Every structure is written in structure tokens, then in C-alpha cells.
Amino acid sequence: MPRTVYRVIEKITQKQELMDCSSESEAFEVMGQLVEANPESQYTIEEVVVYDKEAFRYGRDPELH
């Protein structure tokens, strides 16, 4: 079953993924703490849909059944 992950990314110097969060509010909280700690950097939040590998081990799409 797919789930949404909110990824906090540092976008200026390294374009590095820093953390995956389970909710959008958690991602904004993490981003706020990062901005306080590193005000010279800029951060963004990216919404990513992740599919569990367990769901596909039987060879069928569980969303269709």
C-alpha cells in the first residue's frame, strides 16, 4: 500500500536529502529547526509517494483487489 513521505532537502549548497518525515507538519517543524540552526542555508519539502515492497511480493497490485 502506498504511503506519502515528506522529504526535507537542503537545496543551495549540496541539494542533499536530510530527513524523511511521516507528516507534512513534522516536515515543517524539522525545517524550522534547521533554519534556526543554519540560517545561511535554504530548505525545501518534497512530497514523495513510496510503495511498500511487501505488497508486491505476491505478484499482484493490492490496490486492484
- Give how many domains the chain has, as a whole number: 1
Give CA 24 to chain center in angstroms. 9
Stronger pLDDT, 65 or 10, i.e. the higher one = 10
pLDDT in tens, 7-62: 888 887 667 778 888 899 999 999 999 999 988 888 999 998 888 766 555 666 65
* DSSP type of residue 47: E
Are 16 and 51 contacting, i.e. CB atoms less than 8 angstroms apart? no
Give the predicted TM-score (pTM) of the model. Answer: 0.68
Range of the domain at 25: 2-64
Q: How far is CA 18 from CA 1, 26, 43, 58, in A?
A: 24, 13, 10, 33
